[in-house]
Structure 1
Amino acid sequence: MRKPRPGPLTPGDWARAALAAIARGGIAAVAVESIAADLGATKGSFYWHFKNRDALIQAALDLWEQSRTESVIEDLEHEPDPAERLRKLLEAAFDRSPADRAEVALLANPEHPAAIAAVRRVADRRIGYIAQQLEKLGWEQGEALDRSVVLYYIYAGYLQMAHVAPDVTGDDARRRHVRLILATLVAGSSQR
């Protein structure tokens, strides 16, 4: 039975529903009919806003990229201290991301050309931003980039571990791990 809708749907409503579907089952879960049913809409409503399923997937990926990367970076830029930016970034990423099933699904298995491209853009943006902060802390450009890539490897591995072995990544362990990462890869000596 279809749920009644309080008003007309927007492309954003469809994109959020598609992102929720990705969180439940990856890109393969983005099916127009089931999302329409979730939204209490018809396929006609979908075609009013989108040319095809690929356009809906792209809208969901754009939403993921904006909300999980660009808006996070915008918020961090209010903090003047690059070390504090990195601390806040790591704490937020390690606290929030395991519950973000879309993040887990997309980083683990993008499955679609548009998703692969979005994951690459997001990784490049995140790694570049972290490297910029490390350079501001005095790390040489190449060293900052290497450390940033390693931080991103750790983050991606942490997401997988939080998914398959949550007992290893509990609250206390997560706080200890973030402190260790900061001490090892961020605050270490930039002078050789």
Structure 2
Amino acid sequence: MTEKRRRLSRDDWVAAALAALAEGGMGAVAIEPLAARLGATKGSAYWHFANRDELLRAALQHWEFDETDAVIALVSAEPDPTVGLRTLLGTALSHPQANVAVMLAGVNDPLVEPVLTRVTNRRIDYLAELFTRLGFTGDAARHRATLAYSAYLGTGQLWRTAPGALPADSGAWDSYMDEVWKALTATE
């Protein structure tokens, strides 16, 4: 008796494309290897997407929503900007690996680069808004936002390439985050 395959959804293909992008870069987002990974036929992909570029666009749209729009909405619901920014930084810095991998994978790709530019600008703008709500003005808020985002990208790269450089236990991590917080919010 043969086992009946589960019909894959559009979301299954999008998730597989994002995982492949995070793990192997742009070259890993190809229909045939993704089909093998999912135990499916290429026809399943083409049922949902006209081609690889359409799949990639859908994956990037999903990534942008989950990793930017939804996060901003969640943090914006917090009335205290100190709590919101501290929560955002703690969460983003503790697990940036896959997110940063997606960002690094698409540099110089004509489909991905405009999305990365939009996401980066939106994130820095939102961070600047939070720093403004904390009392920093103009350039100071923007510079701190850029520094915070740089810390995020750098931490993601360290998690991927040199995880031993980052604090390993929760107490050391909390101490590290306190120092990051002090550096970003110091007034002198």
Q: Same fold (TM over 0.5)?
A: yes
1:5 aligns with 5
2:57 aligns with 58
How many angstroms apart in 1 are the aligned matches of 2:77 and 2:113? Answer: 30
How many angstroms apart in 1 are the aligned matches of 2:34 and 2:160? Answer: 25
TM-superposed deviation, 1:178: 1.8
Q: 8 Å contact 2:21–2:105 — kept in the other structure?
A: no
Q: 1:39/1:181 Cα in 2 relative to 1: closer, same or farther (>3 Å)?
A: same
TM-superposed deviation, 1:162: 1.8
Provide structure 2 residue ranges, at least 5 long, that are not aligned to the other structure: none
Q: 8 Å contact 2:96–2:155 — kept in the other structure?
A: no
Aligned residues: 183
Q: Is 2:22 aligned against 1:23? A: yes
User: In terms of mean alpha carbon deviation, does 67-76 or 40-49 score higher?
Assistant: 40-49
- The percent identity for this pair of structures is 40
2:164 aligns with 167
How many angstroms apart in 1 are the aligned matches of 2:156 and 2:47? Answer: 36
How many angstroms apart in 2 are the aligned matches of 1:90 and 1:178? Answer: 8
TM-superposed deviation, 1:57: 0.9
Deviations 1:52-75 (A, max 9, x none): 111111111111111111111111
Q: Is 2:132 aligned against 1:135? A: yes
How many angstroms apart in 2 are the aligned matches of 1:72 and 1:4? Answer: 38
Provide structure 1 residue ranges, at least 5 long, that are not aligned to the other structure: none
TM-score of the superposed pair, with normalisation by structure 1: 0.87
TM-superposed deviation, 1:177: 2.5
Deviations 1:124-177 (A, max 9, x none): 111111100111111112211111011111111111112221111123443223
What letter matches 2:22 in structure 1?
A: A
Deviations 1:93-147 (A, max 9, x none): 111223x2xx232233414222212221111111111100111111112211111
2:71 aligns with 72
Q: 1:141/1:26 Cα in 2 relative to 1: closer, same or farther (>3 Å)?
A: same
What letter matches 2:53 in structure 1?
A: D
Q: 8 Å contact 1:23–1:105 — kept in the other structure?
A: yes
TM-superposed deviation, 1:4: 5.1
How many angstroms apart in 1 are the aligned matches of 2:139 and 2:4? Answer: 55
TM-superposed deviation, 1:182: 1.3
Out of 79, 101, 104, the position equivalent to 2:100 is: 104
TM-score of the superposed pair, with normalisation by structure 2: 0.89
How many angstroms apart in 2 are the aligned matches of 1:5 and 1:38? Answer: 14
2:155 aligns with 158
How many angstroms apart in 2 are the aligned matches of 1:4 and 1:152? Answer: 47
For the residue of structure 2 that corresponds to 1:114, the secondary structure is coil
For the residue of structure 2 that corresponds to 1:61, the secondary structure is helix
For the residue of structure 1 that corresponds to 2:95, the secondary structure is helix
Deviations 1:23-72 (A, max 9, x none): 22011101101112222322222122112111111111111111111111
How many angstroms apart in 2 are the aligned matches of 1:12 and 1:22? Answer: 15
